[in-house]
Structure 1
Amino acid sequence: MTQDHWNKFATSQVYQQVIELLPEGVYISDAEGTTIAVNSMYEQLTGLKGQEVMGENVKVLVEKGVYNLALNPEIVVTGEHKMSVQITKTGRKVLLNGYPIFDDSGKVSFVLTFVRDISLLSQLKEQIADQQEIIDKYREANEQCKKALTSNVEIFESKKMIALMEKLKKIAKTDTTVLLLGETGVGKDVLARKIHQYSPRRKEPFLKIDCSTIPENLIESELFGYEQGAFSGANTKGKVGLFEMADKGTLFLDEIGEIPLQLQVKLLRVLQDQEIIHIGSTKVKKVNVRFIAATNRDLEEEVRKGTFRSDLYYRLRVADLEIPPLRERQEDIRVMMQAFLDKYNAKFRKEISFTKELAEVLLAYKWPGNVRQMDNLIQSLVVTHETESVDVTDLPHYMLLDLSKPEEAGNPSQGKSLDELVADYERNLLKKALDRYKSSSKVAEFFQVDRSTIFRKAKKYKLL
């Protein structure tokens, strides 16, 4: 197209009608860089008015900061198509697609630039990323659940736990809310997963939230989700909460006693009506979730003190399972010890074994941290020892101190007095330490006492 042809076309009403029909923004400049036409879509996408750019040279507009770059100069020189992202003074980001238009002699006479809204593409990309994040969380939760369910072999022999598991299996077949009670470390997490495993929802998500580890100002948004711009610092696209993510599956609320009082009434509504409302929204959403809660607190006492709502407490305690501490089911200690030892031997490719004396000490120990303490202890013993046999002297110092207390030592059924039992344990422990370290100084350092104390006791028990 020649300049004369263009001038005739541009002065007519036809050209504006043509570019207005296009769904994209249009920006046309001549070989010198003068802006000669834009359409209304360009104004809408960039936030710039036509009169701001019409008749102005693109280089001057860049210098004025109307936009940060122009494709015209490079396209005129190279005669090739070019793409770039442009930022306008209004803060809009747009994608430019510039094309040369040649005259009869083959020179670039005009540059036609199509303008697209990159913010829409960015929003779509963010939405896809958000959806992928949700998918990844689902996948991770399902994988963790499958792994946990396949690895959590029932390692108990006590009558208390056998009866508890029978009750658990009956409850699991229903959709009722379950409250798990017991001291820290007794295995509430494992039993929550067992309930899900035996339930009709076993193929759906199992999600866990530890209410004690999430800051009070974030726990509501984590559970309920929020809308775009619901609060300062929120994700610009909003967020799906755990109630929705667990839809059709099971949500395990560990340490439910840590839920803030003002949030308890909202949780009660979810339990009763299976309905949620995002933070920053008034729209009610239905969910289909089976709830399991756990706590090591005395919730009845918390209700009396006014720190836990009575209506929520009774709604949670539709079906409850109280897990006895490990010290009350000694039949389980031996099988658990062996199970954890086998587990970590396999994991770390070792062949560690416990001496008879160590096994007896672990059986007599009261396990204040319950199953979790035993799990962590045995993992530590396997990881930190290269020798095949682990003995009493390899126990951590805090356990040795506990075991040395009179009420912890021996088995009264052996027919010995308490003093005799304590003396037997002390002699055995000291002998093992001397055999291992070959030096009273090193033994004194290990037990954090004076060397004279070790020497005196060794002489007392005729170990020197």
Structure 2
Amino acid sequence: MSKQPDKAHKIEDFFDSVLDIFYDGIYITDANGQTIKVNSMYEKLTGLKKEDLLGRLVTDLENEGVYTSPLNPTIVKTGKPQTSVQVNKEGRRVVVNGYPVFDKEGKVVYVVTYVRDVTVLSQLKEQIASQADLIEKYHQEARYLRKSNFQDSQTIVESPKMKNLMQLLKRIAATDTTVLLLGETGVGKDVFARKIHEYSSRKDQPFFKINCATIPENLIESELFGYDPGAFSGASAKGKPGYFELADKGTLFLDEMGELPLPMQAKLLRVLQDQEVMRVGSTRIKRVDVRFIAATNRNLEEAIKDGSFRSDLYYRLRVAVLDIPPLRERKEEIIPLINYFLDKFNIKYKKHIHFSPSVKNYLLHYKWTGNVREVENLIQGLVVTQEKDILDVTDLPSYFIADDNHKDQLFQPESFNMGDRTLSEMMDSFERELLKRALELHGTISNVAQVLGMDRSTIFRKLKKHALI
């Protein structure tokens, strides 16, 4: 007789263990509303203890403020599933979904309630929506880039360095080899990447640019390799191709290559070597035919030493190298670039702005640490903000006027011949030439006084002395 209760007890324990497997909280009541089962997840989600609930009526628990809105009475009465938001005495909010269990006669004998945390569900929903927005954003960018023509890939080539570089670029473009573009920020590496594609046999195929520094680290793999349906939360039900697949038969430009995380460097190396990709969540390998161009402003050899860049990937990329010189080393292109961007933004903003000779002379001697991008941004800003048609030095931003680079230029007079002159005569001549050049560069007496660190009245008196005003 003692074996029957033991067997029943074991079945009870087994049933409790099964309920504890579920990720949802489970709360089971009978037709009278008495609590008969509560799993461990319910305890975690609500903060309520099993021993305080078992055997208790849901109506009593509601009256005592243990929780609100029990579903049992309504489900027993209607025989239909119900859903509600329940708040317990600790202030925790949970979603409760109740379902009736019927006997052979069709009467409700039990109510099984599944419980889920509202906060967790909201967070998951926000994460999924955010991830979906990011993925869609990058694929919109991809679609835009695929349609992109090359009207903006204007290249100004005037200096000997750039002429030699363009000849090398055309020779490299005719092959399918991987290209590594080196150079300071703003020298126009993206323009050269487009030129390589434009001069290649792939010019009628897609061209994609990816900035490795701007894609969130948790999205890089899915963006490059794509993903299969259900690969992760928020993934499209149809899956999506990555940039490697989208660029098939075309060119893929990996900008800011030095910022790629180490795990992705290893995976990219395999793609470069084998031209094979596998989507996230897939077991199927797909072959691609992609021409890779990489660019960086980092010293990759130093990055190898500090362990942030793989040496094998570096040597795999360093097949054909184009080292683009900074703008200060190709001054022959400064004025043509200024004219090009001035025309471009005049047309865009329907303006008719021109620069005076003193402005162009001033800009010619600026060091342009931001390179071509700085030229473009300056010209765009001037065209947008200025109203008059002809701009003078005074219309330039204040940081240009006060720039120390121009102070050096003031002390380089075009002609200075000692001859038989006395020291006083030579100093007088030097002062006149310096002031004349300063006035040409800076346009006004106030600007000259600011740059030379002198009172405006002193500069005025000296200019008058030398008959410069």
Class of the TM-score when normalised by the shorter of the 2 chains: 0.5 to 0.7
1:142 aligns with 2:154: no
| Structure 2 CA distance for aligned equivalents of residues 64 and 460 of structure 1 | 102
State the TM-score, normalizing by the size of structure 1.
0.64
| Structure 2 CA distance for aligned equivalents of residues 387 and 250 of structure 1 | 44
| Structure 2 CA distance for aligned equivalents of residues 270 and 296 of structure 1 | 23
| Structure 2 CA distance for aligned equivalents of residues 133 and 218 of structure 1 | 12
Quick one: which amino acid aligns to residue 337 of structure 1? I
| Structure 2 CA distance for aligned equivalents of residues 233 and 409 of structure 1 | 62
Counterparts in 2 of 1:182-221, with a 5 A limit? 182-221=183-222
Alpha-carbon deviation of 1:430?
A: 6.3
- Rate the CA distance shift 1:179–1:429 in 2: closer, same or farther, 3 A: closer
Which residue of structure 2 aligns with residue 251 of structure 1?
252
| Structure 2 CA distance for aligned equivalents of residues 213 and 419 of structure 1 | 52
Alpha-carbon deviation of 1:419?
A: 7.3
1:347 aligns with 2:348: yes
- Rate the CA distance shift 1:62–1:302 in 2: closer, same or farther, 3 A: farther
Which residue of structure 1 aligns with residue 444 of structure 2?
432
Alpha-carbon deviation of 1:140?
A: 2.1
Which residue of structure 1 aligns with residue 400 of structure 2?
399
Which residue of structure 1 aligns with residue 7 of structure 2?
none
Which residue of structure 2 aligns with residue 285 of structure 1?
286
Q: Residue 248 of structure 2 contacts residue 290 of structure 2 at CA under 8 Å; is this kept in 1? A: yes
Alpha-carbon deviation of 1:189?
A: 0.5
Which residue of structure 2 aligns with residue 314 of structure 1?
315
Q: Secondary structure at the match of 1:154?
A: coil
Query: How much is the aligned-residue C-alpha RMSD, in angstroms?
Result: 3.6
Q: Deviations over 1:220-251 (max 9, x none)?
A: 22111223343344445433211111111111
Counterparts in 2 of 1:86-165, with a 5 A limit? 139-144=143-148, 146=149, 149-165=150-166
| Structure 2 CA distance for aligned equivalents of residues 134 and 383 of structure 1 | 29
- Rate the CA distance shift 1:409–1:234 in 2: closer, same or farther, 3 A: farther
Once the two structures are aligned, what percentage of the paired residues are identical? 52
Q: Deviations over 1:368-392 (max 9, x none)?
A: 1111110111111112112111111
Alpha-carbon deviation of 1:454?
A: 3.6
Q: Secondary structure at the match of 1:365?
A: coil
Which residue of structure 2 aligns with residue 382 of structure 1?
383
1:179 aligns with 2:180: yes
Alpha-carbon deviation of 1:349?
A: 1.8
Alpha-carbon deviation of 1:433?
A: 6.1
| Structure 2 CA distance for aligned equivalents of residues 405 and 242 of structure 1 | 46
- Rate the CA distance shift 1:230–1:336 in 2: closer, same or farther, 3 A: same
Alpha-carbon deviation of 1:402?
A: 1.6
Q: Secondary structure at the match of 2:336?
A: helix
Q: Deviations over 1:132-169 (max 9, x none)?
A: 9999666522322x1xx134333221111111111111
- Rate the CA distance shift 1:419–1:168 in 2: closer, same or farther, 3 A: farther
Q: Residue 278 of structure 2 contacts residue 284 of structure 2 at CA under 8 Å; is this kept in 1? A: yes
Q: Residue 362 of structure 2 contacts residue 441 of structure 2 at CA under 8 Å; is this kept in 1? A: no
Q: Residue 364 of structure 1 contacts residue 410 of structure 1 at CA under 8 Å; is this kept in 2? A: no
Which residue of structure 2 aligns with residue 109 of structure 1?
none
Q: Residue 138 of structure 1 contacts residue 205 of structure 1 at CA under 8 Å; is this kept in 2? A: no
| Structure 2 CA distance for aligned equivalents of residues 143 and 387 of structure 1 | 37
Q: Secondary structure at the match of 1:189?
A: helix
Q: Residue 397 of structure 1 contacts residue 447 of structure 1 at CA under 8 Å; is this kept in 2? A: no
| Structure 2 CA distance for aligned equivalents of residues 359 and 150 of structure 1 | 26
Alpha-carbon deviation of 1:252?
A: 0.4
- Structure 1 stretch 275-284 or stretch 399-408: which is displaced more? 399-408
Which sections of structure 2, spanning at least 5 residues, go unmatched? 1-74, 84-96, 100-135, 418-426
Q: Deviations over 1:264-284 (max 9, x none)?
A: 110100111011122233322
Q: Secondary structure at the match of 2:332?
A: helix
- Rate the CA distance shift 1:275–1:366 in 2: closer, same or farther, 3 A: same
Quick one: which amino acid aligns to residue 276 of structure 1? V
Q: Residue 365 of structure 1 contacts residue 403 of structure 1 at CA under 8 Å; is this kept in 2? A: no
| Structure 2 CA distance for aligned equivalents of residues 135 and 220 of structure 1 | 14
Q: Deviations over 1:81-100 (max 9, x none)?
A: xxxxxxx999xxxxxxxxxx
- Structure 1 stretch 238-247 or stretch 371-380: which is displaced more? 238-247
Which sections of structure 1, spanning at least 5 residues, go unmatched? 1-59, 69-87, 91-131, 435-442
Q: Residue 254 of structure 1 contacts residue 293 of structure 1 at CA under 8 Å; is this kept in 2? A: yes
- Rate the CA distance shift 1:185–1:404 in 2: closer, same or farther, 3 A: closer
| Structure 1 CA distance for aligned equivalents of residues 335 and 462 of structure 2 | 34
Alpha-carbon deviation of 1:405?
A: 4.7
Which residue of structure 2 aligns with residue 114 of structure 1?
none
Q: Residue 186 of structure 2 contacts residue 371 of structure 2 at CA under 8 Å; is this kept in 1? A: yes
Q: Residue 156 of structure 1 contacts residue 335 of structure 1 at CA under 8 Å; is this kept in 2? A: no
Q: Residue 157 of structure 1 contacts residue 332 of structure 1 at CA under 8 Å; is this kept in 2? A: yes
Q: Deviations over 1:165-217 (max 9, x none)?
A: 11111111111100001111111000100011111111111000111112222
Q: Residue 182 of structure 2 contacts residue 321 of structure 2 at CA under 8 Å; is this kept in 1? A: yes
Quick one: which amino acid aligns to residue 142 of structure 1? R
- Rate the CA distance shift 1:228–1:352 in 2: closer, same or farther, 3 A: same
Alpha-carbon deviation of 1:287?
A: 1.2
Q: Residue 406 of structure 1 contacts residue 422 of structure 1 at CA under 8 Å; is this kept in 2? A: no
| Structure 2 CA distance for aligned equivalents of residues 424 and 220 of structure 1 | 60
| Structure 2 CA distance for aligned equivalents of residues 275 and 186 of structure 1 | 32
Q: Residue 156 of structure 1 contacts residue 336 of structure 1 at CA under 8 Å; is this kept in 2? A: no
| Structure 1 CA distance for aligned equivalents of residues 433 and 264 of structure 2 | 53
Q: Residue 365 of structure 1 contacts residue 408 of structure 1 at CA under 8 Å; is this kept in 2? A: no
Q: Secondary structure at the match of 1:150?
A: coil
